[in-house]
Structure 1
Amino acid sequence: MNDITDIDSIRLFVDEFYDKVRRDDLIGPVFLKAIPGDWQPHLDKMYAFWNTILFGVSGYKGNPFSKHAPLQIKQDHFDRWLKLFAETINTHFNGPVAQDAQKRAGLMAEMFLSRLRYTDPNRIVF
């Protein structure tokens, strides 16, 4: 297996990952409620996001946390998201960039959970 090397690699893992997300019994309904129609704009944003995160290519504009904050998501949702993400990466890629992608996904999940707890202390996110 090769490492994640370019935007084509990113498109491959983003497309497959979000296909798994949509079919998942736990997080699928959350995503399908947030994105009830055409998924392509979201996928395009995720291609740009990961291209910026992994390769420093400018193009992503947005605030990921603000999109997730209103969702009723808890620790188990993040755990499933990370599981599906790791499965997708590990199916197709091996190398330092693939490892970095998984590390960054974990850090994002930790940061989002921390911010959710901070912004709404009464919210149960365990």
Structure 2
Amino acid sequence: MDIKGKDEIKLLVNDFYTKVRQDDLLGPVFADVVHDDWQPHLDKMYDFWNAALFGVPGFRGNPFARHAPLPITPKHFERWLELFNSTVDQHFEGPVATEAKSRALLMATVFQSKLSRMKDAFKVIV
């Protein structure tokens, strides 16, 4: 079964973030920001993936700005992608599932590139 709409997105996001919370590398990073109030973050992720995969309006925010101050490294992105892709593969197959994994990879690549440039710029300033 492929990802067809918001119901499947909720399944994906809920299962993925359950794994994130339990992960030794990613869990502490999210716990420091989200604390124990996960529902607002999950709701935002439902809207984000619904917009990213189906063009449905409703997502507002700047994901990079929210993640830039976090203590994340390439290892965090690698683990995030690993968990995301395995969660997609566990539940779905088809063109939209493949697109979700492609968009996750693109997002991780762009975020890492921007973070690297920010760190390099900071080194020049200091």
Q: Secondary structure at the match of 2:106?
A: helix
Measure the CA separation in 2 of the matches of 1:82 and 1:64.
Answer: 16
Secondary structure of 1:120's aligned partner: helix
The answer to whether residue 26 in structure 2 is matched with residue 24 in structure 1 is no
Matched, 1:109 2:104: no
Equivalent-residue separation in structure 1 for 2:39 and 2:81 (angstroms): 22
Shift of residue 27 of structure 1? Answer: 0.7
Where does residue 49 of structure 1 map in the other structure?
A: 48
Q: Distance in 2 between matches of 1:34 and 1:81?
A: 16
Between the two proteins, the alignment pairs up a number of residues equal to 122
Offset of 1:36 from its aligned partner? 0.7
For the aligned residues, what is the CA RMSD? 1.0
Measured in 2, the distance between the counterparts of 1:36 and 1:65 equals 20
Task: State the alpha-carbon separation in 2 of the partners of residues 55 and 97 from structure 1.
Answer: 9
Question: Residue by residue, what CA displacement relative to the aligned partner does 1:33-70 show, whole Å, maximum 9, x if unpaired?
Answer: 11112100000000000000000000000000001000
* Structure-2 separation of matches of 1:120 and 1:74: 11
Q: Tell me the CA shift for residue 99 of structure 1.
A: 0.2
Structure holding more helix per residue:
2
Q: Give the Cα–Cα distance (whole angstroms) in 2 for the partners of residues 76 and 37 of structure 1.
A: 24
TM-score (norm 1): 0.95
Supply the distance in 2 between the matched residues of 1:86 and 1:95 (Cα, whole angstroms): 13
Deviations 1:57-105 (A, max 9, x none): 0000000000100001000000000000011000000000000000000
For 2:44, the aligned partner's letter is K
What residue is the counterpart of 1:12 in the other structure?
A: 11
TM-score (norm 2): 0.95
Distance 1:120 1:80 in 2: 21
1:74 and 2:76 matched: no
TM superposition outliers: structure 1 runs of 4+ over 4 Å: none
CA distance in 2, matches of 1:119, 1:24: 27
- Structure 2 residues without counterparts, runs of 5 or longer: none
Q: What are the ranges of 5 or more consecutive residues in structure 1 without an aligned counterpart? A: none
